[in-house]
Amino acid sequence: MSDREEAGGEASPKFRRRKEARPDELLDAALDLFTEQGFDRTTVEQIARRAGVSKGALYLYFPSKDAVIEALVDRAVGPVVGEVVIQIERFEGDPRVLLKRFVPLFAARLSDPRIVAVPKLVVREAVSHPRLAEMYRERVIGRVLPALATLFRQGVAGGHIRPVDPEMAVRSLLGPVLMHVILADVFGIRAEGVTPGDIGLARLFDTHLTIFCAGLDPAPVQEAPHG
Amino acid sequence: MSDREEAGGEASPKFRRRKEARPDELLDAALDLFTEQGFDRTTVEQIARRAGVSKGALYLYFPSKDAVIEALVDRAVGPVVGEVVIQIERFEGDPRVLLKRFVPLFAARLSDPRIVAVPKLVVREAVSHPRLAEMYRERVIGRVLPALATLFRQGVAGGHIRPVDPEMAVRSLLGPVLMHVILADVFGIRAEGVTPGDIGLARLFDTHLTIFCAGLDPAPVQEAPHG
DNA sequence: AAAAACTAACTGACCAGTCATTTATTTAAT
DNA sequence: ATTAAATAAATGACTGGTCAGTTAGTTTTT
């Protein structure tokens, strides 16, 4: 076992210099640990160890522990939006057509634990790290919500769907899905016969979209909505 | 002002013995602080000070800091359910009638910050305090979800609503509301012309229930739900 | 005077961030 | 090619501060 020196073989180096790869490795390790334990209960030493370096090394790449979680969210928040929003904005016609087109993309995104981990983290740590929530609001929520609201507004104007408050219709659409993602593992809500979150998500998508889309049908103009 | 000693007047006592009132005062203080700062960043000293006692006094009533948050959730989790679940379970007929009947009650509950603070806290701290999530699951979620699922199942069987997966329909119903409650202050999502969370909630209820209830209409049997 | 409620000072553990030192890699000279 | 100096990457021991929980002693009530 003692292949330290001599013994003819190579001396295995104690560490390697890999400046390029470190930051991402550290962020990956941090995301895992923050997800498992939360930010406050994760030590910088733990992050460094899981990334295979010492605590001191982490401080070569990040000025503070706070900077780590911010970089984490920053890294995750970029590639999410962009193209999608543009497609939503320039669409014309029945909003439900577009929704159904995007279902597979959404479902795939939401089934990847490393992707959903970030918004969950933001929700949990927002109180002590307002900048995280701000980033997410500016670069994700603040772009997707208005785009979808416009989509519905235009759908109402074109007579494709029943006249509804567009901003609230967006919440009606996204609420069940986001709720499921955030709460599923917190409360371990497993519907009957569901092993991983995946199948449950598919079932939810199916049922919810059925109800939601049917609910948007332009009313047959037969009775007032409430007594 | 210096009525400390002598001076003929009463010496104002440094503290009073009020064994009965202390626990609730401590829990109230703790809930405020946990909500503002999160569990980990709130010190026992802060809780005690806000309740008007010293740190040592807190330990006369609670064996640990963890015990405080558990007592907090325990206290809040009892009176929520009970009567409501029973009424849901014994209802027969169109589920939407019952839903509309309960809207004012729900809206009132969800508009009270001291009430919604607890589930929000549970969601945030569940990772480091699994027992909180367990309590909430057992005594609230695990009772309300099945009751509502049964309500929908029976509604389907009676032909009052379109045939949907009952468990998923429940998520479709509650998702937007819970999402709003949990995310509204995290991301400061303020729809146009909404000052406090109250008005936004009313608008959301209105729009969502319109869509949801219309979406449950027994289909006019004209086309298959998806291509 | 006795008991109960409460306080304030204390302790031991933990941890973010620093820094003097060690190890790996590159460059340049032989 | 081989080796030595220079530089860059990484280590790990250390520090200062914080905080949960304890306890000896004080104040209030009976």
Q: A114-160, pLDDT tens digit by residue?
A: 999 999 999 999 999 999 999 999 999 999 999 999 999 999 999 99
Å from the B18 CA to the C6 C1': 10
- Side-chain-side CA neighbours of residue A152 (13 Å): 24
Q: How confident is the model at residue B188 (pLDDT cuts 50, 70, 90)?
A: confident
Top-confidence residue, A224 or A40: A40
Report the pLDDT averaged over residues B94-122: 94
- B4 CB below 7 A from strand D atoms: no
pLDDT at B198: 65
Average pLDDT of B22-26?
A: 97
Report the CATH number of the A22-72 domain: 1.10.10.60
What pLDDT shows up at residue A53? 97
Residue A224 has pLDDT above 70, yes or no: no
pLDDT in the model for residue B189: 67
Query: Which of B210, B212, B216, B221 would you mutate first to test chain A, the one with the most A CBs within 10 A?
Result: B210
More confident residue, A5 or B178: B178
Burial (Cβ within 10 Å: 0-12, 13-18, ≥19) of residue A135: middle
> What per-residue confidence (pLDDT) applies to B39?
98
CA angle A187, A192, A195 (to 5 degrees): 70
Locate tokens 């497993």: which residue? A190
Q: Is the pLDDT of residue A111 over 80?
A: yes
Question: Across the interface, do B167 and A122 touch by the CB < 8 Å criterion?
Answer: no
- What percent of chain B lies above the pLDDT cut of 90? 73
What local confidence, expressed as pLDDT, does residue A195 receive?
A: 61
User: Which residues from A are below 8 Å from B162, CB to CB?
Assistant: 210-211, 214
CA B18 to chain A, closest CA, distance in angstroms equals 33
Chain A environment of B41 (Cβ under 8 Å): 40, 128
Q: Which of residues 124-183 of B touch strand D (CB under 7 A)?
A: none
> Can you tell me the mean pLDDT for B71-81?
87
pLDDT classification of B6: cutoffs 50, 70, 90 = very low
- Residues B91-112 have a mean pLDDT of 93
Q: What is the ipTM of this complex?
A: 0.88
Q: Is the pLDDT of residue B32 over 80?
A: yes
Q: At A8, is the pLDDT very low, low, confident or very high (cuts 50, 70, 90)?
A: very low
Q: Which two tokens stand for residue B1?
A: 């002002």
Domain-wise residue ranges, chain A: 22-72, 78-215
| Alpha-carbon radius of gyration of chain A | 23
Q: Is the CB of A22 under 7 A from strand D?
A: yes
Least confident of A44-48, A194-198, B3-7, B17-21: B3-7
Euclidean distance between CA atoms A167 and B204, whole angstroms: 9
For B114-144, write each residue's pLDDT tens digit.
999 999 999 999 999 999 999 999 999 999 9
d(CA A192, nearest CA chain B) in Å: 9
> In the prediction, which pLDDT does B219 show?
74
Contact A128/B165, CB-based, under 8 Å? no
d(CA A45, CA A18): 19
Identify protein residues whose C-beta is within 7 angstroms of any atom in strand C. A 11, 13-17, 41-45, 55-56, 59, 63-66; B 14-19, 22, 48, 52-57, 60
Query: In this structure, what is the dihedral angle of CA atoms A108, A112, A116, A118, given to the nearest 10 degrees?
Result: -130
The DSSP annotation for A24-80 comes to HHHHHHHHHHHHHH-STTS-HHHHHHHTTS-HHHHHHH-SSHHHHHHHHHHHHHTTT
Does domain B22-63 match CATH 3.10.150.10? no
* Protein residue with the closest CA to the C1' atom of nucleotide C18: A56
Measure, in angstroms, how far nucleotide C20 C1' is from residue A21 CA: 26
Choose among B124, B145, B213: nearest Cβ to A124.
B124
Work out the mean pLDDT of chain B and round it to a whole number: 88
Q: Are B167 and B221 in contact (CB under 8 A)?
A: no
Q: Is the CB of A57 under 7 A from strand D?
A: yes
Class of domain A78-215: mainly alpha
Q: Quick check: A5 pLDDT over 60?
A: no
Which residues are CB-neighbours of A113 under 8 A, at least 6 positions away?
Answer: none
What average pLDDT does chain A have?
88
- Predicted confidence (pLDDT) per residue in A178-196, tens digit: 999 999 888 876 666 666 5
Q: What are phi and psi of A184, to 5 degrees?
A: -50, -50
Count of CB pairs separated by less than 8 Å, A with B: 178
**Predicted confidence band at A214 (pLDDT cuts at 50, 70, 90)?**
very high
Structure tokens at A26: 């550290």
Q: Which nucleotides of D are covered by protein (CB under 7 A)?
A: 8-13, 18-24, 27-29
- What are the CA-CA distances from residue A189 to residues A116, B25, B86 (Å)? 17, 33, 21
Q: Which of the pair, A45 or B219, is modelled with greater confidence?
A: A45
Nearest CA in chain B to A40: B40
pLDDT of A2 > 70? The answer is no
> Cβ(B208)–Cβ(B103) under 8 Å?
no
CB contacts, 8 Å: A216 with chain B: 211, 214-215
Q: So what's the pLDDT on residue A4?
A: 29
Torsion over CA: B55, B61, B62, B68 (sign): negative
Q: Decide if B22-63 and B78-215 have a common fold.
A: no
Distance from the A40 Cα atom to the nearest Cα atom in chain B, whole angstroms = 7
Residue with tokens 């010190």: B43
Q: What is the pLDDT of residue B113?
A: 92
pLDDT higher than 60, residue B109: yes
Tens digit of each residue's pLDDT (9 = 90 or more) over B202-220: 999 999 999 999 999 997 6
Q: For testing the chain A interface, which of B172, B177, B203 should be mutated: the one with the most A CBs within 10 Å?
A: B172
